[in-house]
Amino acid sequence: MGSDSDLPVVEKAVSQLKELGIPVEAHVMSAHRTPEESAEFARSARRNGFGVILAAAGKAAHLAGVLAAHTTLPVIGIPIRSGAMNGLDALLSTAQMPAGVPVAAVGIDEAQNAALLAARMLAIEDAALAEKLDERREAMRQAVLRKDADLRKRLGDV
């Protein structure tokens, strides 16, 4: 994450990944204040066992792009709501990458979706993880069906 102030958002990704049994590391690094360390982290990430990198940052939000410039691993940017533009600047900085430096972007503060997207990427080669994701999706489906049945019971035939 670009700052420790991003932790309340990033914690949602961390807990989601842990729930799925995916090992997680969290670091504070800045595209602007620690560019060498950020680049080295990205260059060594594959060798250090990473499969996907999540990068949370607000305002100018260059962290995801800097990391993506130094690795061929998938990078998922999490724009953080902050500043005068309430996260729109971070969303645009994360999503509008130049050709050849892809970054996937989720919605502003949507760390849980970033974690689930990372899990889906990892599940391409991990059948057990794919099964956990299928079970999670079925649980969400059942929850919506229960809510629909409750609503129709409450409102009667409309």
3-class DSSP string for the chain? CCCHHHHHHHHHHHHHHHHCCCCCCCCCCCCCCCHHHHHHHHHHHCCCCCCCEEEEEECCCCHHHHHHHCCCCCEEEEEECCCCCCCHHHHHHHHCCCCCCCCEECCCCCHHHHHHHHHHHHHCCCHHHHHHHHHHHHHHHHHHHHHHHHHHHHHCCC
Average pLDDT of the chain to the nearest whole number? 96
44 pLDDT exceeds 90?
A: yes
What band does 4 get if pLDDT is binned at 50, 70 and 90? very high
Show me where the domains of the chain are located. Answer: 4-125, 127-158
Q: What is the pLDDT of residue 158?
A: 73
Architecture of domain 4-125: 3-Layer(aba) Sandwich (3.40)
Q: Tokens 């994701």 sit at which residue?
A: 133
What integer is the mean pLDDT of 142-156?
Answer: 96
The size of the chain, in residues, is: 158
Rounded Cα distance, 88 and 85, in Å: 5
The per-residue pLDDT for range 53-101, each reduced to its tens digit, is 999 999 989 999 999 999 999 999 999 999 889 999 999 999 999 999 9
pLDDT of 157 higher than 90: no
The pTM of the full predicted model, rounded to 2 decimals, is: 0.93
Distance, C-alpha 117 to centroid of its chain = 7
98/65 Cα distance (integer angstroms): 9
Which has more pLDDT, 84 or 27? Answer: 27
More confident residue, 83 or 27: 27
Q: Binning pLDDT at 50, 70 and 90, where does residue 49 land?
A: very high
- What is the distance between the alpha carbons of residues 67 and 73, in angstroms, rounded to a whole number? 9
CA distance 54 to 140: 24
Determine the pLDDT at residue 84. Answer: 87
